[in-house]
């Protein structure tokens, strides 16, 4: 477990580390896997898992544990209190899907990763190894590269220092100089491209959702590599991101802080 982030040493920080490890996996995790991913001693990890199960935040299954329904209850309470960036963005994401008929996602920074908070796809859309609430790497996803490009330099340094580079495919960026060139290009053209860096056979394009205080999120369109036309989807992505930014400022200014 990293000692550079004091919050990870607190009781709450360790509980969150367990929840994030489970939430970031597409399949249930064993207790040993959770201990490895969080860096917690096995006995400590088991104690936190037992407490989170008792509270309904984790659910035991045959293969290990997965997120429990108690988290969905908390999520619903947050939405009811007006914290729904996803709700604000969904009508515009749905319109983007109708234009492209490809997988559309909305992502935010969370900790040292990117988390998808909305995903719209159809039967003909490419099958992505992502899900709402899932945590993915920043350096090999289009949404992650957009968020990295527009974040503060000290945060970017922390991501690379503590998380490093995720090699999901042979095309994933694993070199600091190459990443710096890529992020500079993202800022220049105002969009990021992932061509089979996260998933073989799939390409994605992402643009930032800008707010007064910085970058609120990233909007992404993903499709099979041989079907995605960057010049075609970029204008639609920028229009969608601009509409979401205006809506955030109009109906939920507290999201822009």
Q: 25 has which bridge partners?
A: none
Interatomic CA distance for residues 173 and 154, integer angstroms: 20
CB 138 within 8 A of CB 144: yes
pLDDT at 3: 36
Tell me which residue of 207, 203, 205 sits closest to 227, measured CA to CA. Answer: 203
Listed range (27-41, 118-132, 158-172) with the worst mean pLDDT: 118-132
Report the share of the chain in percent with pLDDT over 70: 87
pLDDT at 237: 96
Report the share of the chain in percent with pLDDT over 90: 46
Q: For 48-74, what is each residue's pLDDT tens digit?
A: 999 999 888 898 998 899 888 777 666
pLDDT at 129 exceeding the cut of 80? no
- What is the number of residues in the chain? 257
pLDDT level of residue 85 (50, 70, 90 thresholds): confident
pLDDT at 25 exceeding the cut of 90? no
Q: 104 has which bridge partners?
A: 120, 221
pLDDT at 74: 65
147 versus 212: which is more confidently predicted?
147
pLDDT at 81 exceeding the cut of 60? no
pLDDT at 252 exceeding the cut of 60? no
pLDDT at 6 exceeding the cut of 70? no
Give the residue-averaged pLDDT of 79-88.
62
pLDDT at 49: 93
Q: For 27-36, what is each residue's pLDDT tens digit?
A: 889 999 999 9
Give the residue-averaged pLDDT of 69-98.
73
What angle do helix axes 11-23 and 31-38 make, rounded to 10 degrees? Answer: 120
pLDDT at 65: 92
Those residues whose C-beta lies under 8 Å from the C-beta of residue 169, and which sit 6 or more positions away, are 140, 196, 197, 198, 199, 200
pLDDT at 194 exceeding the cut of 80? yes
Element (H, E) at 239: helix 230-251
pLDDT level of residue 4 (50, 70, 90 thresholds): very low
pLDDT at 201 exceeding the cut of 50? yes
pLDDT level of residue 155 (50, 70, 90 thresholds): confident
Residue-wise DSSP of 22-49: HHT-SS-B-HHHHHHHHT--HHHHHHHH
Average pLDDT, the chain: 84
């Amino acid at each position: 477990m990293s000692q550079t982030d004091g919050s990870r040493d607190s009781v709450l920080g360790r509980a969150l580390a367990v929840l994030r490890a489970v939430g970031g996996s597409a399949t249930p995790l064993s207790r040993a896997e959770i201990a490895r991913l969080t860096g917690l001693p096995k006995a400590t990890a088991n104690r936190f898992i037992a407490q989170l199960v008792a509270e309904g935040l984790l659910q035991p299954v045959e293969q290990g544990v997965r997120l429990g329904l108690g988290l969905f209850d908390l999520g619903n309470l947050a939405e009811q209190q007006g914290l729904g960036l996803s709700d604000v963005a969904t009508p515009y994401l749905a319109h983007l899907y109708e234009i492209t008929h490809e997988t559309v996602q909305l992502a935010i920074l969370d900790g040292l990763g990117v988390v998808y908070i909305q995903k719209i796809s159809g039967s003909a859309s490419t099958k992505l190894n992502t899900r709402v609430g899932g945590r993915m790497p920043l350096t090999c996803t289009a949404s992650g590269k957009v968020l990295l490009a527009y974040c503060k330099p000290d945060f970017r340094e922390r991501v690379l220092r503590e998380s490093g580079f995720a090699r999901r495919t042979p095309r994933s960026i694993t070199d600091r100089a190459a990443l710096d060139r890529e992020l500079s290009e993202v800022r220049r053209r105002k969009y990021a491209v992932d061509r089979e860096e996260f998933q073989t056979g799939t390409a994605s394009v992402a643009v930032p959702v800008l707010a007064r205080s910085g970058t609120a999120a990233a909007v992404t369109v993903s499709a099979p590599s041989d079907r995605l036309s960057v010049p075609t989807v970029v204008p639609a992505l920028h229009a969608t991101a601009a509409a979401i930014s205006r809506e955030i400022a109009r109906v939920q200014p507290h999201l822009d802080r």
